[in-house]
């Protein structure tokens, strides 16, 4: 039996340090349960059975890429523009919370319409640098909401770590009444520090909900509750101090693709009366892959089939997804331009991935050297 002395919290080199003498094996077990993610620990044996456990609170890296969350209205332009720095956001956060373990990193100040696959590739390298260090519990990425789901999905398909990676933003800018930036940041930090957030892939945290990167999409131009996993619902919520998970992701595959990108994979949305002209154009531009956001169950106008067959003959990979917001594509129609005709022409069905996500997966998988049969496999849900 050993003594127990609570030495309290002390800030040392940006860590919280709790020095505790453990009373019993039972308490020791309780401690070890939360050491995995929030804390790391080393022990100093004093004498006999008396030891000191030094528990260091792990840090959370906040990587800022830009977005409305870091914007204010410029009176001359009469529009929101980047104007809040990461340190300003963190000091505002410090006024309303007690987090002392945050480490900001300014990656960019970009509105998310200007985020590119190259930026995602660079971001992945920064995320990895943090995750590889034992003193970080995980990473929060701050991002504009317009392309947030694309960066989230890209990071998910190239994900190699168990630690939580959360991506968040805000719908209102810092000049707006009801600015949601701080709430979303606080929720995201809580999710990273929750031990059950390990091994869940990249998570999107907004408006008190947790969604999986592979399932979620922005559904509304204005609402704070804009991120929805349309066919599935959120995987969890943040309720005050509790982070609660309801279910596992249904869609997630551990793709484990290497961090690579190219600029020659394209996305076309199909509409009534569309012809094959744009497909011909992209093939001439040297496209390696094209995703078609097709109609309904995965069908295109019959007049597009010549261009599609020609693209396939030239080795261009074509993935079919649906422009519907819910449901999978399937080769259920046999007419010219129907799903069966597309599959017979060598197109790949992309399950219920959205067009932008299917494009990122096709781009990355091809850059990883995957050939046609492997691509079919990776897109099969
Ligand atoms: N247009 C903004 C962006 O994506 C929207 C946002 O951040 O909510 O950067």
Task: Give the mean pLDDT per block of 10 residues along the chain (381 residues).
Answer: 33 41 44 52 65 76 97 95 94 90 96 98 98 97 98 96 97 97 98 96 97 96 96 95 91 84 96 98 98 98 98 98 96 98 98 97 97 95 72
**pLDDT for the residue 102:** 95
- Which amino acid residue places its CA nearest to atom 3 of ligand 1? 144
From the candidates 68, 147, 151, 265, give the one annotated as an active-site residue.
68
Dmax (CA) for the chain in angstroms is: 84
The answer to whether the beta carbons of residues 80 and 175 sit under 8 Å apart is yes
**pLDDT for the residue 207:** 98
Distance (Å) from CA 143 to ligand 1 centroid:
8
Is residue 250 exposed (0-12), middle (13-18) or buried (19+ Cβ within 10 Å)? middle
**pLDDT for the residue 256:** 85
The verdict on whether 265 is a catalytic residue reads no
Structural domains of the chain ordered from first start: 6-57 (no CATH), 59-245 (3.40.50.1170), 265-379 (3.40.50.40)
**pLDDT for the residue 328:** 95
CB neighbours of 367 closer than 8 A, spacing ≥ 6?
260, 261, 262
Q: Could you tell me which residues are beta bridge partners of residue 63?
A: 105, 141
**pLDDT for the residue 19:** 44
355 CB near ligand 1 (under 6 Å):
no
**pLDDT for the residue 25:** 45
**pLDDT for the residue 356:** 98
Q: How far is CA 166 from CA 206, 243, 358, in A?
A: 10, 13, 21
181 CB near ligand 1 (under 6 Å):
no
- Which amino acid residue places its CA nearest to atom 4 of ligand 1? 144
Structure tokens at 30: 């309780």
Distance (Å) from CA 50 to ligand 1 centroid:
54
Distance (Å) from CA 111 to ligand 1 centroid:
6
**pLDDT for the residue 33:** 42
Distance (Å) from CA 118 to ligand 1 centroid:
19
Position in ligand 1 atom list of the atom nearest CA 110: 9
The answer to whether the beta carbons of residues 142 and 136 sit under 8 Å apart is no
Structure tokens at 76: 């001359």
Give this prediction's pTM.
0.87
């Amino acid at each position: 039996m050993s003594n127990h002395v609570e030495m309290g919290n002390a800030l040392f080199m940006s860590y919280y340090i709790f020095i505790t003498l453990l009373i019993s094996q039972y308490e020791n077990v309780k401690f070890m349960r939360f050491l995995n993610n929030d804390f790391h620990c080393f022990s100093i044996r004093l004498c006999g059975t008396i030891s000191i456990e030094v528990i260091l609170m792990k840090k959370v890296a906040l990587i800022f890429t830009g977005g409305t969350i870091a914007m204010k209205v410029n009176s001359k332009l009469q529009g929101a523009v980047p104007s809040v720095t990461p340190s300003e956001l963190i000091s505002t956060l410090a006024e309303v919370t007690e987090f002392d373990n945050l480490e900001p990193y300014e990656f960019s100040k970009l509105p998310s319409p200007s985020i590119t696959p190259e930026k995602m590739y660079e971001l992945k390298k920064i995320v990895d640098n943090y995750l590889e260090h034992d003193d970080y519990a995980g990473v929060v990425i701050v991002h504009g909401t317009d392309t947030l789901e694309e960066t989230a999905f890209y990071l998910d398909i190239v994900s190699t770590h168990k630690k939580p990676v959360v991506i968040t933003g805000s719908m209102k800018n810092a000049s707006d009444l009801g600015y949601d930036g701080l709430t979303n940041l606080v929720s995201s930090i809580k999710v990273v520090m929750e031990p059950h957030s390990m091994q869940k892939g990249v998570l999107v945290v907004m408006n008190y909900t947790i969604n999986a990167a592979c399932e979620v999409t922005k559904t509304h131009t204005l609402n704070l509750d804009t991120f929805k996993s349309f066919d599935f619902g959120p995987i969890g919520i943040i309720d005050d101090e509790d982070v609660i998970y309801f279910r596992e992701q249904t869609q997630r595959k551990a793709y484990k693709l290497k961090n690579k990108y190219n600029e020659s994979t394209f996305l076309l949305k199909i509409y009534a009366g569309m012809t094959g002209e744009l497909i011909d154009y992209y093939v001439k531009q040297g496209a390696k892959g094209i995703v078609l956001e097709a109609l309904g169950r995965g069908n295109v106008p019959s007049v597009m089939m010549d261009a599609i067959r020609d693209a396939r003959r030239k080795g261009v990979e074509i993935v079919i997804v649906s422009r519907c917001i819910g449901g999978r594509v399937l080769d259920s129609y046999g007419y010219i331009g129907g799903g069966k005709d597309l599959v017979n022409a060598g197109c790949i069905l992309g399950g219920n991935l959205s067009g932008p996500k299917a494009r990122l997966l096709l781009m990355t998988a091809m850059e990883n050297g995957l050939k046609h049969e492997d691509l079919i496999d990776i897109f099969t849900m």
